[in-house]
Structure 1
Amino acid sequence: MKTAVLPIFLLAFTFATAQEKLEDSNKVHEIKEVTMTKKVFSKKSDRFVYDVAASPVAKGNTAFSLLKETPLVSSTDDKSLKILGKSKAVIYINGRKSNMNEEAVLEMLKNMPAENISKIEVITLPGSEFNVEASDGVINIILKKKLDDGVNGNLRMNNNQNIRNRQSAAGSINYRKNRVGISASLNSSDWTNSQHYILTNGTSSSSNTSVGPIVDPNLNVGGYLNMDYEINENQNLALSYNAHANKSYGSYSSLFNTSQRAGSLAYSITELDENSRSYNNSANLNYEAKTDDKGSKLNLNAAYLNFRRFQRSTNTTFLSSALQDKLGTQAVFNQRTPQIINNYAFTGDYIKKFDKDLTLSTGANLSFTKTDNDTYFEALNSATGSFEKDGNQSNHFTYDERLSGLYVTAEKKFSDKFSGKVGVRVENTSSEGNVLDTGETIKRNYTNVLPYLSVNANLSGASSLSYAFSSRVRRPSFWEINPVRMYLTSTNYVQNNPFVKASAVYNSELTYMLKQSYFLIASHTLAKDDNAQVPLQNGQELRYIRTNFGDKQELGLSAGMQKNFFNGVLTTNTSVGVQFNTVKGSLSKDPLTGDEFEPYTIDSSTSSLFIQSNNNLRLSKNKDWFMGVNFFYIGEQIINLGTLSPLSSLDLSVKKIWNDWTFNLQFRDVFRTHILRLKDTQSNGNYNTVRNNNYSQSVEFSLTYNFGNKSVKKIRSINEANKDIKSRTN
């Protein structure tokens, strides 16, 4: 708790000081009206707006670094961006979702000059026009206008060292001439993910402990090609293509198992060898037409997505001594788990601007998805020495899904002090899952009405109060409904479930802003019939079942500031708060096999402190040396699997800018505190603990070279028709 004292004190002091100044400002209100400067950070009815053009932070920075210093946005690993309280941030550019995959988007942001950005909008609760999942937030990057024609690009090399050495490289180029814009990128990486597990589970009379490493080498190649043609001043046509390939051969795990039963000990070693490869290809055709000079426009998209993954694994369990000597083979099984996904999607949106104070939007989407999962499982018959198919674990599962949606929103500025936005989204889901081996069919057809509301009131020239409500649906990913088991040991495995249903999620948020630098946020999320992995235990057997489990509530209270000190030498973005989690649910039967287990019940609440602080220090007057100090901490909290122990990480970085070159040295998880620990103890005596070290402590060096005309206009980024489907293929 000592780590929390200083940030809390700083925030309390700055809020008190700011409030004092606000009260004093009321006495000289007329003078302030004349001398007021442009707002750097403000709150509209449905979003936070960070005016980069009015901020000194942008100079000498990249878009990615700038986003990390944007209020409510954070990155703890430099590989992802998150919005406070959200699972992930979906990137939009000029109001349209980027048509690149997440890796390519981040590489683009890491090499985009921050001087090209006009504003950054952080949308914590997206409106009805955004087709996103229940817990997703949106970051909308607005680029500056009046950029010149020409060619530019960048080359980037990266080397990361933790317990293994990992490398990546990327290059991109942008071309614009008159009405034609072309953008292309290619990236590759040789990246091995290493983890070390300690798994324990059992009862007072029996237990099992598994200890060992999991190593997953990955070779990745990806890229994109985007073409944009301006038909005339009012019409544009764009075609985009994205591709990504992954090869993961030689993945393995080796777990040493110690079983205790009736006072006696038995030892074994479980080894898993796996080869897999996957391919992801997508294309999107976009047409946009401006219908009047007020900004009204029509946007149409047609998209295709093809995802293929092929995976083979061999799981072998050996009898062992206490010294981990292999004494003989106990069991062997092979498994093939291929998955093929094809998706066709269409969207249409029309935005009508009646005047600067009223905007109406309406749109529709239609999506068709077909998945094919032909799982094959065979076990070694020790008597015959041959492998025999296991019909209970082999299955050919196909899944067809049709999603259709309609939305309408209205946004109105009633006065300089009050604005609001209201909308509704209606979604219909029709699906059919078939287990071809047994003839079993799972059909669903349901409609969701999803309302949205946000209002914003300017209480004075320096403070505002806003409220937003959003209703969303969280559908399971396609891999979660594929009825297959993924083994760690012969008695410890994850089991997917085709009977998982979508969950309803309701979000509320109340925000108070002061002087465009300080903010207080109270948020509440209720997930009804939430789906998650639930541990079912029977003696030493432990199944993590994907199923609808119960209800979950999250209440968050946070205070933060985004502030420059010492004429921009120090920029800090700090948030401190408390999160209250409540989880209620119970499960005693495997929904796929019908097997009965001792009930797993969770009905508890936790409160946890969280701290997020990103700080950038300019070390030289020439603005070419910078130091970064980033820290996060989150206290103990309850989740569906049990109680998660505190997590924290301190990251340091030094950056040098030399002409068109950027050199960056980063030290991540300096004190090696980012280790996951999970525990659960049931009233019947069953217990389950997990310790996972993913070796997040590392040193990383990156080198970036930017060439060409730095003011080349980026081509239009398109809101793909199948963007919501892509997120469910991972």
Structure 2
Amino acid sequence: MKKIIMISSLLSGVIAFAQGTQKTDTLKVQSIKEVTLTKKVFKKLSDRFVYDISASPIAKGNTAFGLLKETPLVSSTDDKTLKIAGKSNAVIYINGRPTQMDADGLEQFLKNMPAENIQRIEVITMPGSEFKVESTDGIINIILKKKTTDGLNGNLRFVNEQNYFNATGAGVSLNYRKEKLGISGNVNTNENIEYKYYILNNGNKDAENRSVGSMSDPNKNLGGYLNIDYQLNDKSSLALTYNSRANRSYDSTIDLFNTTTSLLTDQTQYSLTKSSENARSYNNSVNLNYELKTDSLGSKLNLNAAGLLFRRFQTSTNFTYGSDINQNQISQSLKIMQVQPQIINNFSATADYVQKFKKDLTIAVGGNFNKTSTDNDTQYNAFDFRTQTSESKPNRFLYDENIYGAYLTIEKSFSPKFSGKIGARYELTQSEGNSDNAEDERLRSIKRNYNQLLPYLSVNYAINKDNNISYAFSSRIKRPNFWELNPVKTLLTEFNYTQNNPFVKASSVYKQEFTYMYKNSYFLILNHAFVKDNITEVPLQGVINGVNQVRYIRTNFGNNQEYSAMLGMQKSFFKGYLSTNFNAGIQHNRNNGSLNQDPITGDIFPLYENQRNSTSFTVQTNNNIQLDKKKTWFLGINYFYIDKQTVELGELDKIMSLDFTVKKVWNNWTFSVDLDDVLNTQLISVTDYQKNGNYNNISQDRYTRSVKLTMVYNFGNQKVKKVRDIDSADKDIKNRTR
């Protein structure tokens, strides 16, 4: 049900432009003098932006997720995923190390992490070769406060949110330190029902189809983590991290009323599609970390070994009924039952060594190995009541993948004003997919072996105390998610469905970025990205076996380019009573892709092409107002606007949102009320018209207007030293599990 149609995930990437680490101490670069903004500092270092909020009252009672949404260049339009300006995804690091969770677990982790524990946030728009990130991913590195006192502290959080349905959540976080031993943990749970309303129109000169209805997806989540860190001696430490998350989504439903009109015969048929789904998933991972400091300059060796077990069990039933114009059910036409499990096992290992020299020179080398096996034993059974015929298509898809990687980076500070970094990453991928019951011989065994050298370059020049410029070039590859490779289809209606594709290959991304910073308050970012063999979803539409169909195919769809320019400001006014984060940008997209064949069935459709260009304008602003001298009352006003722009599925209409937050700090308690999308303007509309006469329009209401009440209670010794957060060898694999 979560992947019934990939509009939401596509749009989260589309609107990334409007949103907006590891080696903090690996290069001694003199940055521009910091400018204090009411105990907040925003500055540009050689390869990252730094937002210091260590003493900010805005952090009081907030979460890491809420704080990140107010960080310059970072925001969220769905309250689930975080975006960096010009990036389709933000990879989260803690104290320079990647986090341990999949996307859903990470969301819950950040929404339960107390913001009071954060020292600063680093935004890396162009990660260096030492980072294992893909495609256009950027990095958000959360640096936690380092405290000195032993003891116990914690945080309790309660949340209630009302939009279309009511949602609740609660969590507890604990931190304990005694001499050389540190233990931290978290348990959180939430329950919600995701509700969406669809209007789907497609057709051509001969026929037109219209489907109208809703999707309801209940979710119950239980998750948590445990970190155990022990300092062996002054130079070495050992740590173990365990993460777990369980999700249950039972009784998910889709109810659609379908109207099919033949323009040749002027006949109209009506039908009802009723789908139900039960799914549950489990994600468990463990990571063992060893760190050794080799000298007094900060040189160190870091070793990791990790294991990941991911399980998802999903069953769905799709019914089609004949009906009249008033949606009265007449007769049953079709019943389709599907079983779509996904099992992922992964072992990962990394080794990183950083050598520092006295003359501001740093050399880093490292390597990684990932071994992943997936098992998808899919069952498909259909019975057509119109012809009294049945069809069974079982298929077990096995996929094995090995990734070998190595990198080398060299950083040098040539003067107090000028520094540079050069590096390269080499990756070798070996994969094989096998389908035991595939009718097409091509699907029986799909082997791929490819390697790529990925260079990186960055330079930074501080012209004077007020002006700083930097340039970076980066190259990355983007591998498909594991579920995208499983050759199954997920039904929306009988003739409208999504189709995964085992023939999808990795895409390549080449990016360059120029940044100008003035007085640590104003910045200009110019960006260009070229994507080769872009992985996306393509709507193929045409008459197959006498019936007009729409199939959303996951595939490589040509090349595209993106040019963008963004002006931004992070500044405080009126003696700190008003803090403003403002971004305004323009983006130009150039698309070049075409497709006319279903890669799984071989069916030929009228050509679908997207060779259009678009230019769009975006605005985003976050404002925090201190309402009293004691710093106990605060008002937040946030707004974003995204102009019309061309995406893979067509032209995305403008979208915007206005949000308010009122917060009260009372001793150890913090109370806040959030009003999100108060104007109800986060409505999704995509329109596409092809030269051959085909059209496909999609409208979606996600019911994002909501009211949320949050209560937070902090207890214990607030001077507890944070447990050392542990590197994970399998972070990049987890990102591909959904």
Go from structure 1 to structure 2 and tell me whether the alpha carbon gap of 1:326 and 1:456 turns closer, same or farther (over 3 Å shift): same
Counterpart of 1:450, as a letter, is: L
What is the DSSP-based 3-state SS (H/G/I as helix, E as strand, rest coil) of the residue aligned with 1:479? helix
What is the DSSP-based 3-state SS (H/G/I as helix, E as strand, rest coil) of the residue aligned with 1:233? coil
Measure the CA separation in 2 of the matches of 1:40 and 1:356.
28
> How far has the Cα of 1:356 moved from its partner?
5.9
What are the equivalent positions in structure 2 for 1:625-644 lying under 5 Å apart? 625-644=633-652
Go from structure 1 to structure 2 and tell me whether the alpha carbon gap of 1:484 and 1:36 turns closer, same or farther (over 3 Å shift): closer
Counterpart of 2:90, as a letter, is: A
Measure the CA separation in 2 of the matches of 1:405 and 1:472.
13
Tell me, yes or no, if structure 1 residue 574 matches structure 2 residue 576: no
Give the structure 2 partner of residue 663 of structure 1: 671
Measure the CA separation in 2 of the matches of 1:324 and 1:177.
67
Answer whether contact 2:35 2:519 (CA < 8 A) is retained: no
What is the DSSP-based 3-state SS (H/G/I as helix, E as strand, rest coil) of the residue aligned with 1:323? coil
Go from structure 1 to structure 2 and tell me whether the alpha carbon gap of 1:63 and 1:379 turns closer, same or farther (over 3 Å shift): closer
Measure the CA separation in 2 of the matches of 1:219 and 1:56.
33
Measure the CA separation in 1 of the matches of 2:181 and 2:63.
26
Cα deviation code 1:682-720 (max 9, x no counterpart): 101000000011101111111111111112111111220
Give the structure 1 partner of residue 361 of structure 2: 358
What are the equivalent positions in structure 2 for 1:77-226 lying under 5 Å apart? 77-102=78-103, 105-106=106-107, 109-110=110-111, 114=115, 116-226=117-227
Counterpart of 1:535, as a letter, is: P
Gapped regions of structure 2 (runs ≥ 5): 1-31
- Which of 478, 497, 504 in structure 2 is aligned with 1:500? 504
Measure the CA separation in 2 of the matches of 1:495 and 1:110.
33
Counterpart of 1:476, as a letter, is: P
Answer whether contact 1:511 1:522 (CA < 8 A) is retained: yes
Measure the CA separation in 2 of the matches of 1:383 and 1:677.
35
Cα deviation code 1:18-67 (max 9, x no counterpart): xxxxxxxxxxxxxxx99997993222221112233587866776544443
Measure the CA separation in 2 of the matches of 1:561 and 1:416.
26
Measure the CA separation in 1 of the matches of 2:41 and 2:502.
49
What is the DSSP-based 3-state SS (H/G/I as helix, E as strand, rest coil) of the residue aligned with 1:248? strand
> How far has the Cα of 1:181 moved from its partner?
0.7
> How far has the Cα of 1:76 moved from its partner?
3.5
- Which of 452, 458, 462 in structure 1 is aligned with 2:456? 452
Go from structure 1 to structure 2 and tell me whether the alpha carbon gap of 1:54 and 1:44 turns closer, same or farther (over 3 Å shift): farther
Which stretch shifts more, 202-211 or 142-151?
142-151
Counterpart of 2:252, as a letter, is: S
What is the DSSP-based 3-state SS (H/G/I as helix, E as strand, rest coil) of the residue aligned with 1:223? strand
What is the DSSP-based 3-state SS (H/G/I as helix, E as strand, rest coil) of the residue aligned with 1:99? coil
Give the structure 1 partner of residue 408 of structure 2: 408
Measure the CA separation in 1 of the matches of 2:59 and 2:244.
32
Go from structure 1 to structure 2 and tell me whether the alpha carbon gap of 1:505 and 1:660 turns closer, same or farther (over 3 Å shift): same
Go from structure 1 to structure 2 and tell me whether the alpha carbon gap of 1:549 and 1:37 turns closer, same or farther (over 3 Å shift): closer
Tell me, yes or no, if structure 1 residue 524 matches structure 2 residue 528: yes
Give the structure 1 partner of residue 541 of structure 2: 537
Measure the CA separation in 1 of the matches of 2:168 and 2:147.
37
What are the equivalent positions in structure 2 for 1:468-479 lying under 5 Å apart? 468-479=472-483
Answer whether contact 1:424 1:449 (CA < 8 A) is retained: yes
Answer whether contact 1:70 1:562 (CA < 8 A) is retained: no
What are the equivalent positions in structure 2 for 1:283-294 lying under 5 Å apart? 283-294=286-297
Measure the CA separation in 2 of the matches of 1:37 and 1:199.
51
Measure the CA separation in 2 of the matches of 1:142 and 1:604.
42
Cα deviation code 1:206-255 (max 9, x no counterpart): 10000000000011111111111110111111111111111111011110
Answer whether contact 1:634 1:646 (CA < 8 A) is retained: yes
Tell me, yes or no, if structure 1 residue 348 matches structure 2 residue 356: no
Which stretch shifts more, 77-86 or 558-567?
77-86
What are the equivalent positions in structure 2 for 1:555-574 lying under 5 Å apart? 555-574=563-582
Cα deviation code 1:488-514 (max 9, x no counterpart): 000100000000000000111101110
- Which of 298, 311, 328 in structure 1 is aligned with 2:301? 298
Answer whether contact 1:116 1:711 (CA < 8 A) is retained: no
Counterpart of 2:206, as a letter, is: S
Counterpart of 1:708, as a letter, is: G
> How far has the Cα of 1:120 moved from its partner?
2.2
Tell me, yes or no, if structure 1 residue 48 matches structure 2 residue 52: no
Counterpart of 2:372, as a letter, is: T
Give the structure 1 partner of residue 487 of structure 2: 483
Cα deviation code 1:415-465 (max 9, x no counterpart): 111111111000000000001124611000000110111111111110111
What is the DSSP-based 3-state SS (H/G/I as helix, E as strand, rest coil) of the residue aligned with 1:500? coil
Gapped regions of structure 1 (runs ≥ 5): 1-32
Measure the CA separation in 2 of the matches of 1:289 and 1:195.
51
Give the structure 2 partner of residue 676 of structure 1: 684
Cα deviation code 1:663-685 (max 9, x no counterpart): 11001111000011001101010
> How far has the Cα of 1:109 moved from its partner?
4.7
What is the DSSP-based 3-state SS (H/G/I as helix, E as strand, rest coil) of the residue aligned with 1:725? helix
Counterpart of 1:546, as a letter, is: R
RMSD: 2.0
Counterpart of 1:519, as a letter, is: F
Cα deviation code 1:128-172 (max 9, x no counterpart): 111012121111122333432110111111111111111111111
What is the DSSP-based 3-state SS (H/G/I as helix, E as strand, rest coil) of the residue aligned with 2:431? strand
Go from structure 1 to structure 2 and tell me whether the alpha carbon gap of 1:521 and 1:633 turns closer, same or farther (over 3 Å shift): same
- Which of 708, 712, 724 in structure 2 is aligned with 1:700? 708
Measure the CA separation in 2 of the matches of 1:58 and 1:416.
33
What is the DSSP-based 3-state SS (H/G/I as helix, E as strand, rest coil) of the residue aligned with 1:585? strand
What are the equivalent positions in structure 2 for 1:261-280 lying under 5 Å apart? 261=262, 262=264, 263-280=266-283
Give the structure 1 partner of residue 334 of structure 2: 331
Measure the CA separation in 2 of the matches of 1:429 and 1:680.
36
Tell me, yes or no, if structure 1 residue 379 matches structure 2 residue 387: no
Answer whether contact 1:97 1:717 (CA < 8 A) is retained: no
Measure the CA separation in 1 of the matches of 2:387 and 2:209.
30
Measure the CA separation in 1 of the matches of 2:639 and 2:64.
20
Measure the CA separation in 2 of the matches of 1:705 and 1:203.
59
Go from structure 1 to structure 2 and tell me whether the alpha carbon gap of 1:155 and 1:60 turns closer, same or farther (over 3 Å shift): closer
What is the DSSP-based 3-state SS (H/G/I as helix, E as strand, rest coil) of the residue aligned with 1:460? coil
Cα deviation code 1:343-385 (max 9, x no counterpart): 0000000011112611111100000000011111111153896
Give me the TM-score of the superposition, normalised by structure 2: 0.91
What is the DSSP-based 3-state SS (H/G/I as helix, E as strand, rest coil) of the residue aligned with 1:724? helix
Go from structure 1 to structure 2 and tell me whether the alpha carbon gap of 1:154 and 1:587 turns closer, same or farther (over 3 Å shift): same
Answer whether contact 2:34 2:43 (CA < 8 A) is retained: no
Answer whether contact 1:56 1:568 (CA < 8 A) is retained: no
What is the DSSP-based 3-state SS (H/G/I as helix, E as strand, rest coil) of the residue aligned with 1:480? helix
Tell me, yes or no, if structure 1 residue 251 matches structure 2 residue 252: yes
Answer whether contact 1:101 1:242 (CA < 8 A) is retained: no
Aligned pair count reads 695
Go from structure 1 to structure 2 and tell me whether the alpha carbon gap of 1:272 and 1:146 turns closer, same or farther (over 3 Å shift): closer
Go from structure 1 to structure 2 and tell me whether the alpha carbon gap of 1:646 and 1:383 turns closer, same or farther (over 3 Å shift): closer
Tell me, yes or no, if structure 1 residue 608 matches structure 2 residue 616: yes
> How far has the Cα of 1:390 moved from its partner?
2.6
> How far has the Cα of 1:313 moved from its partner?
0.8
Tell me, yes or no, if structure 1 residue 651 matches structure 2 residue 659: yes
Answer whether contact 1:100 1:224 (CA < 8 A) is retained: no
Measure the CA separation in 2 of the matches of 1:445 and 1:329.
48
Go from structure 1 to structure 2 and tell me whether the alpha carbon gap of 1:419 and 1:35 turns closer, same or farther (over 3 Å shift): closer
Counterpart of 2:190, as a letter, is: S
- Percent identity among equivalent residues? 55
Go from structure 1 to structure 2 and tell me whether the alpha carbon gap of 1:64 and 1:403 turns closer, same or farther (over 3 Å shift): same
Answer whether contact 1:664 1:703 (CA < 8 A) is retained: yes
Which stretch shifts more, 587-596 or 136-145?
136-145
